[in-house]
Amino acid sequence: MTTPQDIIRRDVLAMTSYPVPDATGFVKLDAMENPFSLPPVLAAHLGEHLAGVALNRYPAPRPEALIEKIKRVMQVPAACDVLLGNGSDEIISIISLACANPGAKVLAPVPGFVMYQMSAKFAHLEFIGVPLKADFTLDADAMLAAIAEHAPAVIYLAYPNNPTGTLYDEADMERIIAAADRSLVVIDEAYQPFAQQSWLPRADQFDNVVVMRTVSKLGLAGIRLGYLAGRPAWLTEFDKVRPPYNVNVLTQAAADFLLDHVDVLDAQAAQLREERTRLAAAVAQLPGAEVFPSAGNFLLVRVPDASMTFETLLTARILVKNVSKMHPLLANCVRLTVGSPEQNDQMLAALKLVLH
């Protein structure tokens, strides 16, 4: 009898699935989600809007009205086009598949977003990780050396980076873009609402740069919508790899409606930026805690014992992310999502029990 072991790739058999813990009953501060729901009146209007969606029809493969609205609201340069994806994850997968020539490589600073490496592996691309400096800033010289040695097809630069929260130096990034004359540079701005700095206005100034964003961190993680902005020459090719109906009708309708009310989401992001400042200052006062600068909606914190800290918070029904085993630079680090004021107070109270 044929078994999966007879058919499935050996490297896939050796993998584990992407871990997503059950958060039922927990204060969920492990996935950088916006903790705020929509105002009730706006949620009711959204429900009415979604009620009119034709669920019996396939979604538009390339919804031009929604794309034009994204361009207008997000101030995408006129010379750039936009490609939609089922979250940033699918866009990363599309890029990997489209660029998977024999022997091609993907390069990114590490520690970084795990899907850069996973998607490369799925597409049979070699992944080259270039360690950050000890303070989690970009090691530009090491990146330039790796570019010269490996000539990667794709380079990912997260702005800011996950899980460190680092906003890389612009001059360092410009050096990397200039050196990457045989590479596509993907600038990942998933956390732009909290960084408030962006390469998107300059996306049309480079031949080899595209900018990737998502509405997930803006407060719409549940609708799974990411987008890629860049010169049409790149996006036309990536569009050939995109599944024809990859963004469902409910996602398209919800995004179209909520882009008309983006001021509500921007106000929530502003509140989270204030909470980030308050939370960082409070955690930094705890014995043994080292808080790293963050331009995201999360904090990377080094503690004396990451496992004990994680388990203590878990006992208090607070779920954070233990990233201490992801990379040697992250030894004894936990990642704390910035939640609502009440959630942050709960997390601080639990942290005080273990850091004393």
Mean pLDDT calculated for residue range 193-212: 95
Span(s) in the chain for CATH 3.90.1150.10? 4-40+263-354
79: exposed, middle or buried (Cβ count in 10 Å: 0-12, 13-18, 19+): exposed
The pLDDT value recorded for residue 91 is 98
- pLDDT tens, residue by residue, 141-177: 999 999 999 999 999 999 999 999 999 999 999 999 9
C-alpha distances (whole Å) from 180 to each of 27, 135, 145 are 43, 25, 11
Bridge-partner residues for 110, per DSSP?
131
Distance, in Å, from the CA atom of 50 to the CA atom of 351, rounded to the nearest integer, reads: 41
pLDDT in tens, 120-137: 999 999 999 999 999 999
Query: pLDDT at position 36, please?
Result: 95
pLDDT at 218: 81
Rounded distance between C-alpha atoms, residue 264 and residue 193, angstroms: 12
Q: Residue 219: pLDDT band by 50, 70, 90 thresholds?
A: confident
pLDDT tens figures, 237-267 = 999 999 999 999 999 999 999 999 999 999 9
Residue 203 has pLDDT above 90, yes or no: yes
Q: Which residues contact 206 (CB under 8 A, 6 or more apart)?
A: 177, 185
- pLDDT tens figures, 52-110: 999 999 999 999 999 999 999 999 999 999 999 999 999 999 999 999 999 999 999 99
Are 330 and 111 in contact by the 8 Å Cβ rule? The answer is yes
Q: Does the pLDDT of residue 21 top 90, yes or no?
A: no
pLDDT given for residue 23 in this prediction: 85
Q: Torsions phi, psi of 28, nearest 5?
A: -90, 100
Supply the pLDDT for residue 38. Answer: 95
Q: What architecture is the 4-40+263-354 domain classified under in CATH? A: Alpha-Beta Complex (3.90)
Confidence of residue 15 (pLDDT cuts 50, 70, 90): confident
Q: Which of 117, 123, 119, 129 is nearest to 104 (CA)?
A: 123
Give the 3-state secondary structure percentages of the chain, helix then strand then coil, rounded to 5. Answer: 45, 15, 40
Q: pLDDT value at position 148?
A: 98
For the residues 289-317, what does the mean pLDDT come to? 97
Note the pLDDT of residue 7.
93
Length of the chain: 356
The confidence score (pLDDT) of residue 101 equals 97
Is the predicted pLDDT of residue 287 greater than 90, yes or no?
Answer: yes
Model confidence at 327, in pLDDT bands (50, 70, 90)? Answer: very high
The C-alpha angle with vertex 228 and arms to 261 and 300, in degrees rounded to 5, equals 80
CB 85 within 8 A of CB 246: yes
Question: Is the C-alpha dihedral spanning 138, 180, 163, 271 positive or negative?
Answer: positive
Check pLDDT > 90 for residue 24.
no
CATH number, span 57-261: 3.40.640.10
Q: Over the chain, what is the mean pLDDT?
A: 96
Asked whether residue 17 carries a pLDDT value surpassing 90, the answer given is no
| Residue extent(s) of CATH 3.40.640.10 domains in the chain | 57-261
